[in-house]
Chain A
């Protein structure tokens, strides 16, 4: 038992130490990322916020992430509703088809989409990235939403219908509010996935870089590295906040289950 606890602590250290190097060296007053540390500085953060190309790429990533999250959550919601509410023939095959991107390497998804866009003369752009990201994110959105809908008591909808509400009113006044925590979780998950995705964006973004594509470009220049680490530290901080928010909304959903029971 004690050994297991010690192992868990070691494992946590293995997970965290590499990641924590980013904030550590982002405050280090040297271009070289090596020990011993040479003193505290905020210089890299100042450089970062003065970097117009970085800010532009950041804006692009927010845009792509938001559109991707919205599209994949709405599409996921419709599909999840269809397979949980109606007994459809072939529902299993449909779910398997939508989950396929989980089992296809990103490089294959990205390059094949690149071929298709080339074949129909669709320009490489942020819109092309969104298309790729939606196919990548839909399986995640669908999984989260189906899990939420399966815990949903159908008697409530029947009661609502019996009391004279039409299907749309039932959806807006009953189903949608009960689904809200699942929707929030799906939005967050898909946003983060898109925001962090590199390879598809690398092939499909054309001249408009997303943040990971911009970071990739910077990794070749040693003198830019401390600034990239500062950016990584900020992303880490933002991720922590978002993950805690996401867990919090999910728990909100769990405690609301008493309403549905």
Chain B
């Protein structure tokens, strides 16, 4: 089938998509890289390439703190979301019976509401005059509203955990669903108890789903802008807020570009380390 002619037609068929992605993604990213190598705000690469912006991005303690906070918040969100989602996905894959399909739909519906409004809902819930405080007040459980709920990293973690739940449930569910049930029976026949069977068969075989979910959540949440803006306050601000400020208010595009690329590099390195560590850990268990 793979004749010369056919191969050429295949590449031809692929070319419009590649052209659009080159225009809409690759070219903009390349320009972003060039901006990050520009020494001062102004024309791109004026005065030759320079690493000054990266120096600035990494030298300031305030910026470094934001980098670490973004990574820490996202890592926590990823861990909590995946841990909470695993039993849920396990239930749907192994114990939902005929209702499996209904569960799958029920679990995805909340995620098709506006992302903005889902995040905003948490501002309403956690706010000073919000749902939790007004409910506790009207039940006479507190006498003054709690102000510690909103505008801090905790609010960001809770909100992101809720907002990204589907991205954990679905990949884990798919990987659990793929497990050959005969393997589980075999393990039981050979004398494994439920706990041992889970650790030796189910968990390792569902690991691709768990890792996929973790990456799908960790990578975009480090760059999330909406959630820290709405519920984070100054203590819960993340790197995306700083990047946006450089572009919108300060007008320092080169620094904004360097911050964006430095944060992407940090995220990539963290994610790669994590995947390697997780694989090694599972091999040790097996």
Chain A residues at the B interface, C-beta cutoff of 8 Å: 1, 4-5, 7-8, 11-12, 14-16, 18-19, 21-22, 25, 32-36, 71, 75-76, 78-79, 81-83, 85-88, 94, 97-98, 100-109, 111-116, 119, 131-132, 134-135, 138, 192, 196, 198-199, 212, 215-216, 219, 228-229, 232, 235-236, 239-240, 242-244, 247
User: Within the complex, which residue of B7, B18, B109, B225 is in contact with A97, where a contact is CB–CB below 8 Å?
Assistant: B18
> Interface code B107-118, partner A: CB below 8 Å = 1, 0 otherwise?
111101111111
Q: Give chain A residues whose Cβ lies under 8 Å from the Cβ of B32.
A: 108, 111-112, 115
> Are B17 and A14 neighbours in the complex by a CB distance under 8 Å?
no
Q: Which of B230-271 contact A (CB under 8 A)?
A: 230, 240, 243-244, 247, 253, 256-257, 260-261, 263-264
Q: Which of B1-17 contact A (CB under 8 A)?
A: 1-2, 6-7, 9-11, 13-14, 16-17
- How far apart are A5's CB and chain B's nearest CB, in angstroms? 7
Q: Give chain A residues whose Cβ lies under 8 Å from the Cβ of B282.
A: none
> Are B91 and A81 neighbours in the complex by a CB distance under 8 Å?
no
Query: With A and B bound together, what is the CA distance between A199 and B101 in angstroms?
Result: 32
> Are B14 and A108 neighbours in the complex by a CB distance under 8 Å?
no
Q: Give chain A residues whose Cβ lies under 8 Å from the Cβ of B121.
A: 18-19, 21-22
User: 18 pairs across A/B with beta carbons < 8 Å?
Assistant: A4-B87, A7-B87, A11-B87, A15-B107, A34-B129, A82-B13, A86-B2, A88-B11, A108-B261, A111-B256, A116-B27, A119-B44, A131-B24, A219-B120, A228-B117, A228-B120, A232-B120, A239-B113
> Are A199 and B117 neighbours in the complex by a CB distance under 8 Å?
no
User: Within the complex, which residue of B107, B115, B124 is in contact with A12, where a contact is CB–CB below 8 Å?
Assistant: B107
> Interface code B123-159, partner A: CB below 8 Å = 1, 0 otherwise?
0110001110111001000000000000000000000
- How far apart are B248's CB and chain A's nearest CB, in angstroms? 9
Q: Give chain B residues whose Cβ lies under 8 Å from the Cβ of A82.
A: 10-11, 13-14
> Are A134 and B31 neighbours in the complex by a CB distance under 8 Å?
no
Q: Does B61 contact A (CB under 8 A)?
A: no
- Whether A109 touches B28, Cβ cut-off 8 Å, given contacts A4-B87, A12-B107, A243-B109, is yes
- How far apart are B120's CB and chain A's nearest CB, in angstroms? 6
User: Within the complex, which residue of B17, B27, B113, B220 is in contact with A79, where a contact is CB–CB below 8 Å?
Assistant: B17
- How far apart are B46's CB and chain A's nearest CB, in angstroms? 14
Q: Give chain A residues whose Cβ lies under 8 Å from the Cβ of B21.
A: 97-98, 100, 135, 138
Q: Give chain B residues whose Cβ lies under 8 Å from the Cβ of A12.
A: 106-107
> Are A103 and B219 neighbours in the complex by a CB distance under 8 Å?
yes
- How far apart are A98's CB and chain B's nearest CB, in angstroms? 6
> Are A21 and B125 neighbours in the complex by a CB distance under 8 Å?
yes
Query: With A and B bound together, what is the CA distance between A141 and B22 in angstroms?
Result: 17
> Are B28 and A115 neighbours in the complex by a CB distance under 8 Å?
yes
Listed from nearest, the 3 A-B pairs whose CB atoms lie closest are: A105-B223, A86-B10, A34-B134
- Whether A132 touches B114, Cβ cut-off 8 Å, given contacts A12-B107, A82-B10, A115-B35, is no
- How far apart are B131's CB and chain A's nearest CB, in angstroms? 6
User: Within the complex, which residue of B23, B105, B124 is in contact with A33, where a contact is CB–CB below 8 Å?
Assistant: B124
Query: With A and B bound together, what is the CA distance between A131 and B25 in angstroms?
Result: 9
Q: Which of A101, A102, A116, A247 has the most CB of B within 10 A?
A: A116
Query: With A and B bound together, what is the CA distance between A253 and B125 in angstroms?
Result: 41
For the complex with contacts A25-B124, A88-B11, 20 further pairs of A-B residues with Cβ separation under 8 Å are A4-B91, A5-B91, A7-B91, A12-B107, A15-B162, A18-B122, A18-B125, A34-B130, A34-B134, A35-B138, A75-B17, A79-B18, A105-B260, A109-B28, A115-B28, A115-B31, A135-B24, A138-B21, A199-B225, A235-B113
